[in-house]
Structure 1
Amino acid sequence: MSSPAQESFLSFDDGKIHVCQDGPRDAPALLLIHGTAVSARSWDPMVPFLADAHHVIRIDLLGCGRSAKPRDASYAVANQARRAAAVLDRLGVARAVVAGHSSGGTVATSLAEQRPGLVSAVVLINTGPDMAAYLGEDTGGAAAPADLSDEQLRQAMSTGFAPGYRIPRSLVDQFRDIDLHTFAETSRAVRAYLDERSLPDRLAPLGKPLLVLFGEEDRRWRPSSAADYRAVPGATIRLLPGCGHSPNIEDPARTAAHLLTVPR
């Protein structure tokens, strides 16, 4: 059984970042970047399958989880990636595999763009290649999570999972705690980043090993869009039957098994 995560807060100019570390510190580093409306806790189910072989690092992006939530900070994808790189620098990590779930994949991509020497490989889990692949709806008029019951929240979150999946209470609590300002700013920032240039176009010239995992029953990003990543030389694409938008939660063992094949 793995030991409890070591948690800390690192202070930067625009606020504190909450960091969780698991596994041996001398093992190859693996940075996990969460998606919109959740936190580092969304990786909890996968960590036990990864921490024996990796120094697993999870962060709450600025505005999320237990990290600072400044109103005047920039939530642009490039700035979130810059903060993630600064965390690795502060921890003394010289090289890491970087994995992102959903919108976290845009941050992972931007990190590889900004700091190619820091990133040994990129893993994208249900991250659409561009906005043309997006199947979601505008939620701008939705009620605040704090005003909804658990079952109403599960309904609001349901497209993040395969049909029939029972969303765990821990994830409902994460969604209830989201900062609506950050949610809106992040949604706009991700759209702007993908509209500017697709992820395959960004990743192709970097020459990094790329693993793309996509639940076949994703209801937020078109699963067939995973094929667009074939434009990245050497990319490995795996579709996951029975999984929706969140394989890291729905089937953590199978998702982790794929991730463990990534060159370190």
Structure 2
Amino acid sequence: MTLSDSGPATESSTLALDDGDIYLCQDGPRDAPALLLIHGSASSARSWDPLVPLLTGSHHVIRIDLLGHGLSGKPSDSSYAIPDQARRIGMALDRLGVEHAIVAGHSSGGYSATALAEQRPDLVTALALINTGPSLNAFIAPTSAAIDPAQWPPTDEQLREFASTGFSRVGYQIPQELLDEVRAMTYHTLIATMQGSTGYLEQRSLPDRLTVLGKPLLVIFGEDDRRWRSSSAADYRAVPGAKVELLPGLGHSPLLEDPPRTAALLLAFTASHAVRAD
């Protein structure tokens, strides 16, 4: 399997921020409602590639590589804490002139999405979280051995084992492009970004944070997630008005495993909450 490269040309750019360069790409009409897509740990904006063509008919789709990932900078002396990742996202959207956006995050990308809404409630109109663990209690500890820093960069075989729990079934052919994106990280940025997510959840669970925010919320969860207990999706029902959708037969990465089903849920949600650009 390879990631889709169909559809209109993607406009990409790199923004120089005070603590690192941030890569982003844009698709769809610029005057359409903005939809920001944030990837998870050890991933990149490319993880959304199969989904983007299904969203651009009605949205200005923006994807970003968080610092330490993809084509963004990988400095060893910058903070990879979730609030700092969110701050950079807000600065990037300001540079683009985006005043309102629905923000969707996959996995730990949901933490950056939530932190952005905490920092910039005027900017974020609604949130969609895809297989984002609500608290550390929901985490399923991996059974495979951790990657040895002495063996960095890892082989394809090591990467496939490392990433295997990101999908519902054993033997799923993980796109080579995504393996290459992990290998392009440094060991420091891999560990630091994961620690940033853990630290964010240790401070406060996502349902508690989201209840205070009062933003429209969609939660999508593959029922066969092998990283987070799918039953924990029910924790989000504590957030007033939250809509929770469980997807049978899908695992941690519905955006890759079944793009049409994932896009349909996103589009139904955004249709009610999108704000068109002036």
Under TM normalisation by the shorter chain, which class is it? Answer: over 0.9
Distance 1:139 1:119 in 2: 37
How many Å apart are 1:187 and its aligned residue? 1.2
Change (3 A) 1:103 1:244: same
Identify the residue that residue 48 of structure 1 maps to in structure 2: 53
Q: What SS does the aligned partner of 1:62 have?
A: coil
Identify the residue that residue 7 of structure 1 maps to in structure 2: 12
Q: Does 1:24 align with 2:29?
A: yes
Identify the residue that residue 166 of structure 2 maps to in structure 1: 160
Q: Is the 8 A contact 1:2 1:23 kept in 2?
A: no
Distance 2:223 2:55 in 1: 23
How many Å apart are 1:141 and its aligned residue? 4.3
TM-score, length basis structure 2: 0.91
Code of the aligned partner of 1:220: R
- Where does structure 2 lack aligned partners over 5 or more consecutive residues? 1-5
Q: What SS does the aligned partner of 1:93 have?
A: coil
- Where does structure 1 lack aligned partners over 5 or more consecutive residues? none
1:102-121 equivalence runs, <5 A: 102-121=107-126
Code of the aligned partner of 2:15: L
Q: Is the 8 A contact 2:74 2:185 kept in 1?
A: no
Q: Is the 8 A contact 1:38 1:175 kept in 2?
A: yes
Post-superposition CA distance 1:44-64 (Å, at most 9, x none): 110010111100000100111
Q: Provide the aligned C-alpha RMSD in A.
A: 1.6
Distance 2:88 2:153 in 1: 32
1:134-145 equivalence runs, <5 A: 134-137=139-142, 141-143=146-148
How many Å apart are 1:153 and its aligned residue? 2.1
1:1-264 equivalence runs, <5 A: 2-137=7-142, 141-143=146-148, 147-164=153-170, 165-262=172-269, 263-264=273-274
Post-superposition CA distance 1:10-31 (Å, at most 9, x none): 1110111001000000000001
Distance 1:176 1:139 in 2: 18
TM-score, length basis structure 1: 0.96
Aligned-pair identity in percent equals 60
Change (3 A) 1:250 1:141: closer
Change (3 A) 1:147 1:119: closer
Distance 2:90 2:133 in 1: 22
